[in-house]
Amino acid sequence: MKKVITYGTFDLLHWGHINLLKRAKELGDYLIVAISSDEFNALKNKKSFHSFENRKFILEAVQYVDEVISEENWEQKVSDIDLYEVDLFVMGNDWEGKFDFLKTKCEVVYLERTPGISTSQVKRELASVK
């Protein structure tokens, strides 16, 4: 079984997220999604609209996702790869090169982002709705 892992906040789930999850799942047999805890988001100066529990609940309903885990810190990726016996680490290409150090543990793939959509864009558009 080929295990794939990806990381993110996955707030305000949209078709770009689903596209990433679908493509990640197509690269293996079992997809693990690690989502930033609320505490980790605070350390990154990020604020999610949905709580960790609600983001986890939403992702668990996505057909491409086999397991959802919590990301508590930046260093966790190395231990997760070992703990979950991961074969492939997947991130969006906006992170290109930043996780190449993981290539000693598993294959690393950066997928092209879905054009025309981002959570930041959705938040801006929602803020402009009157």
Q: Is the dihedral of CA 11, 37, 26, 110 positive or negative?
A: positive
Options 46, 47, 98, 103, the catalytic residue: 46
Phi, psi values for residue 60, rounded to 5°: -65, -20
Alpha-carbon distance 130 to 113, whole Å?
29
Give 3-21 as a 3 state SS string: EEEEEECCCCCCHHHHHHH
Options 3, 25, 44, 56, the catalytic residue: 44
44 tagged catalytic = yes
The answer to whether 81 and 5 are in contact (CB under 8 A) is: yes
Pull the structure tokens for residue 59. 């992702």
130 tagged catalytic = no
Alpha-carbon distance 80 to 116, whole Å?
31
Q: Which residues are catalytic?
A: 44, 46
